[in-house]
Structure 1
Amino acid sequence: MVSTKAIIRPLAIVTIAVFAVAGLFTALPALAQEVTPVPPVVNQSQFPANTVTVAGIGVASGAPDIAYIELGVEMVEPELADAYSQAAGAIQAVIDALVDLGIAEEDIRTSSVNIYPQEQFNPQTGEPGERTYRVSNILRITVRDVSMIESVISTAVDAGANTIYNFNFGIDNSVELEQQARLDAVANARERAEQLASAVGASVGDAIVISESYGNYQPLQPYGRGGAASMDVAAMPIAPGQLDVTVQVLVTFTLER
């Protein structure tokens, strides 16, 4: 036989708990009226007194002295073995021609080799037709004399390259440009700080904190993907233009009144 106390005691506890919770919710509006919100505490040490913090940007331009070209061959045949062997022979001819032109072997490397099965479909019935295979072999070529870019492209195409993916200009040694951009960035930061200080009737003192973000080249110039058959090819005009080296700094100056 189950004890009556064992059944009633939990019910009594639950009843008391419900009344307690109900009493809590009844008291909440009164508590809300009595409590005054406390404003957040600002850590003043994060903002040193009598200082101004500004960002500065410096840009130095220079002519590119190196280029990176991606070009190669694509072959399409009904048999995979035929497409693969044709691509292998064609890309070797391109490599040999570039080496004969004066490009160092270590500056020629394979970027990718891809095989794509292609299914032909009847446009009227939708039924599958002949299957072909597309094989591509792409080289990445480093050209350390930018005056040779046109010759490199023409030589590669004449040797059998039929795909040009892209190329980028770059600056191999950017130390001097970075130094100039860094000086310009600091000068730009001080100029901005002086404008802000003047607006509040103060002058700029010493720089007490300075940090620099990584410099970069702008813009990298892409050469769009295209194609050409194997033939005697005239030199393609290429305009290297100028590249920018950008340096950004964050400087905190003292304010003098």
Structure 2
Amino acid sequence: MAVDRQGEFVDKKIRVRGEGTVTIRPDTATVVVGVSTEEKDLVSGQQQNARESSRIVNALLGLGIPAENIRTSDYRIESMYDYKEGMQIFRGYKVTHLLQVRVTDLEKAGTIVDTAVRNGANYVSDIQFITSQHDAYYREALALAVQNAYEKAKTISTALGVKLNPVPVSVIEGNDFPRPVHEYHTPMVKGVSTTQIQPGKLTIEASVTSDYIFDGM
């Protein structure tokens, strides 16, 4: 028989869902910046894009960002067309080169955006604040979820006047929830002298489904 949404009985078992949450401050920021160029000739387009990308990279290196913290996250070439009176007319090639920049100084996130835009970037996206200790914090949240499940089972057993075995016979781990993602695109940042980006806090969540045996009834 079922007991609302917090738990249910299966034979002599109480099944409950436990949840745990840990709120922390991020210690790492990643930003994706890049440049898209269009040219009629593919080779010319690649060369122009390479020049623009190099200028962005050199500017970021000038901020003191290590070269190993700047990597290509996407590089693609697309054929571009115009449509006139039902006709497809070849316009040229679009070359896009995106760079992911990683820093541990969170205050540099806004500076990275500004510097990249000033040096030719026309794409800014995927600004994320993360923690390098995610696994440790997740384990902490998981322990809280297990405890929360026990407390729910204990509440149910007490209300029904039965004796609960405190050791669960089954514990199934749920999935970790997605990390927060903050996105900023060029129209939001272009021409701004100082882009203020606030990291805020991260919430690491875990859940479990636990089965407890009880005596009585």
TM-score range, shorter chain: 0.7 to 0.9
Asked whether the 8 Å contact 1:160–1:230 carries over to 2, the reply is no
Asked whether the 8 Å contact 2:18–2:207 carries over to 1, the reply is yes
CA-CA distance at 1:176 after TM superposition:
4.8
What is the identity percentage for the equivalent residue pairs of Structure 1 and Structure 2? Answer: 26
CA-CA distance at 1:110 after TM superposition:
0.9
Summarize the Cα distance change of 1:80–1:166 in structure 2 as closer, same or farther, 3 Å threshold.
same
Asked whether the 8 Å contact 1:194–1:204 carries over to 2, the reply is yes
* TM-score after normalising by structure 2: 0.82
CA-CA distance at 1:107 after TM superposition:
1.3
How many angstroms apart in 2 are the aligned matches of 1:129 and 1:72? 27
CA-CA distance at 1:130 after TM superposition:
5.8
- The equivalent position to 2:61 in structure 1, one of 93, 99, 122, is 99
Asked if 1:216 is matched to 2:216, the reply is no
SS in 1 for 2:165: strand
Asked whether the 8 Å contact 1:157–1:228 carries over to 2, the reply is no
How many angstroms apart in 1 are the aligned matches of 2:189 and 2:157? 65
Q: Which one has a larger percent helix, Structure 1 or Structure 2?
A: 1
**Deviation per residue, 1:57-103 (Å, 9 max, x gap):** 10111111112221100111222222211100010111111112121
CA-CA distance at 1:210 after TM superposition:
4.9
Summarize the Cα distance change of 1:229–1:241 in structure 2 as closer, same or farther, 3 Å threshold.
closer
Summarize the Cα distance change of 1:60–1:156 in structure 2 as closer, same or farther, 3 Å threshold.
same
* Greater C-alpha radius of gyration: 1
Greater relative CO, 1 or 2 (CA 8 Å, sep 6+): 2
Asked whether the 8 Å contact 1:166–1:224 carries over to 2, the reply is yes
- The equivalent position to 1:201 in structure 2, one of 161, 166, 169, is 161
- The equivalent position to 2:132 in structure 1, one of 163, 172, 185, is 172
- The equivalent position to 2:200 in structure 1, one of 231, 234, 241, is 241
Summarize the Cα distance change of 1:203–1:87 in structure 2 as closer, same or farther, 3 Å threshold.
same
Q: 1:33-182 alignment to 2 at 5 Å?
A: 50-122=12-84, 125-129=85-89, 131-182=91-142
Gap runs ≥5 in structure 2: 1-8
How many angstroms apart in 1 are the aligned matches of 2:102 and 2:74? 16
Summarize the Cα distance change of 1:126–1:205 in structure 2 as closer, same or farther, 3 Å threshold.
closer
Asked whether the 8 Å contact 2:21–2:144 carries over to 1, the reply is yes
Gap runs ≥5 in structure 1: 1-46
CA-CA distance at 1:220 after TM superposition:
2.1
Asked if 1:255 is matched to 2:214, the reply is yes
